[in-house]
Chain A
């Protein structure tokens, strides 16, 4: 079974600073996808960034980037130039490429951006 672990229940960062959220996962699959979702106070689920396991290059979306280390099964999210609007719950998620198992989420990290 696949598991996703987020070891930081809460984090805070000063506005304009950089913060890194940790995520590790456990799987026997060789090809899979990893995601970071953001859930602001409105409780929507918003896809932030996606990484395909067979791609060695780390994904980047504007201020958001990942550090994907396949051997270590680690998938951290770096937020640069943090903004007040980044305040949210952040969930790491995993799905194998087989398509026959569901997306598995971690328990989340609550990020607070402080002015």
Chain B
């Protein structure tokens, strides 16, 4: 696609429910990143992939969070047994190369999650 696409744009869920957030990166982009951004804060790294391989998941807050990118394209971030503190904007970004500094990181518009 023309840009990084995320869905759903908005998700309201009740505490304890599972949610899945989807990211469709720019076609051909090798690296895919997930960030979380609380209101008024900078993006906080969660995890990233090169192709289908998860390179770093050190930013995932706990084992309720997981991510996959099985075919090296679309990625899903799953949060199990959601809690109110999980409420945030979840942003996906992709880059053409693995060395993302030499190329630009393109961000999606984000998925805003609200846990009641």
Binding site for B on A (CB under 8 A): 6, 32-33, 43-45, 47, 50, 52, 89, 91, 95-108, 110
Contacts and interface: CB of A to CB of B under 8 A. Distances in A.
A108 B100 contact: no
A-B residue pairs, 8 tightest by C-beta: A33-B101, A99-B99, A45-B107, A105-B42, A95-B101, A102-B45, A99-B98, A107-B42
A97 B42 contact: no
B56 A102 contact: yes
A103 B104 contact: no
Given A43-B109, A96-B101, 11 more contacts: A47-B105, A50-B104, A52-B101, A99-B99, A102-B45, A102-B48, A103-B100, A107-B41, A108-B40, A108-B42, A110-B40
A50 B89 CA distance: 25
A97 B101 contact: yes
B33 A103 contact: yes
A97 B56 contact: no
B94 to A, nearest CB: 12
B62 interface: no
11 contacts: A45-B91, A45-B93, A47-B104, A47-B105, A50-B104, A89-B40, A100-B55, A102-B59, A105-B35, A105-B43, A106-B42
A52 B99 CA distance: 13
Contacts of A103: 33, 45, 93, 100, 105
Contacts of B45: 102-104
Interface in B56-102: 56, 59, 89, 91, 93, 97-102
Contacts of A99: 97-101
B25 interface: no
Nearest to B97: A99
A55 to B, nearest CB: 12
Nearest to A109: B42
A106 B110 CA distance: 19
Contacts of A110: 40
B96 to A, nearest CB: 12
Contact of B109 (A6, A44, A89, A104): A44
